[in-house]
Amino acid sequence: MVVAGASGLVGSALVERLRADHVEVHTLVRRPARSAQEHEWLTDERPLDPAVLGGAAAVVSLGGASIGRLPWTPAYRRELLRSRLRPTTTLARAIRALGAEAPVFLSASAVGYYGSQPGVRLDEAAAPGRGFLAGLVGQWEAAARGAGPHARTVLLRTSPIVHPTGVLAPMMRLTRLGLAGPLGRGTQAMPWISLTDEVRAISHLLARALGAHPTGGADARAGSTHAHEIDGPVNLAGPTRASANDLGFALAIALNRPYLLRAPACALRLALGRDMADGLLLADAHVVPAALQASGFTFTHATVEEAVRDAVAPEAA
């Protein structure tokens, strides 16, 4: 197994889980390698030697510059795109070069693909949305599909992760100060997933795509789909619809703080710019994990309230 982006929030937790399950994991690092399990890449303009991936059953590509960083200047927009396209394209080319020996490719993506589509149930067959984020994700997925016809490619359309260093990071600061409240209407559907279920889902998809039973029988159910059906986009999103208010109010309860101060949509757009405000805070997207659940996956955290309590418990203690 080869993992790119292993130092990030999801990558580090995924590598820890895989190694705990006795999976041999090699990582791609942007510095000189320090062990036989590390391989340096992207430190110059040289392409990745396909031999680095040769013999791997699967390659997992994670990461990309944070979309939560302010502001989205023209230069940072280019960085958001470059930080996703360069590693994904580099991996896809190396995988394609392996031909019939190509490993399974699980490539990071995002539910930003759907944009804002109020009142629509967004499964993997739903149409893409509009706006900067939807366009960025579309290019990101196109780069992953460059792995070619021999590589089974799974696109991990990930939701904002309910974790103190994920989507909760800016919210926790405001909530502790007593400044939390509805964002715009607050009733807009907001996709979410816990870090635990994000990592479990990726591990589950790896096992399914490779034709193996997922580690830990609780992750699978009888009657699940066959391994060859794990291909294309998979929504990594919690199974229960949540609004922005549901997430914000759950956090306020967990931290024992008020949830009163509304931030009007016009003020958010003025402060952050329309693309960022509409793409991150005001988007209405009811994303459902149809393919993931059809594959037999069951969630540890079924509601956003459960995910918040689990994520914040160590912080609130």
Number of compact structural domains in the chain: 1
Copy the structure tokens of residue 127: 């149409």
In which band, very low, low, confident or very high, does the pLDDT at 229 lie, cut at 50, 70 and 90? low
SS3 181: coil
CB 178: neighbour CB atoms within 10 A? 14
In which band, very low, low, confident or very high, does the pLDDT at 211 lie, cut at 50, 70 and 90? confident
The mean pLDDT value for 216-245 works out to 70
Question: What confidence tens digit (pLDDT) does each residue in 171-195 have?
Answer: 999 999 999 999 999 999 999 999 9
Contact residues for 86 (Cβ-Cβ < 8 A; gap 6+): 42
What CATH number is attached to the domain comprising 26? 3.40.50.720
Contact 256, 307 (CB under 8 A): no
Q: Which of 205, 224, 198 is nearest to 58 (CA)?
A: 205
Question: What confidence tens digit (pLDDT) does each residue in 145-163 have?
Answer: 999 999 999 999 999 999 9
Does the pLDDT value for residue 225 go beyond 70?
Answer: no
Phi, psi dihedral angles at 286 (to 5 degrees): -90, 90
Domain span at 236:
2-316
- Alpha helices (runs of H) in 1-106, residue ranges in sequence order: 9-20, 74-97
Contact 33, 40 (CB under 8 A): yes
Distance CA 67, CA 135 (A): 14
Contact 193, 236 (CB under 8 A): yes
What pTM does this model have?
Answer: 0.93
Contact 301, 196 (CB under 8 A): yes
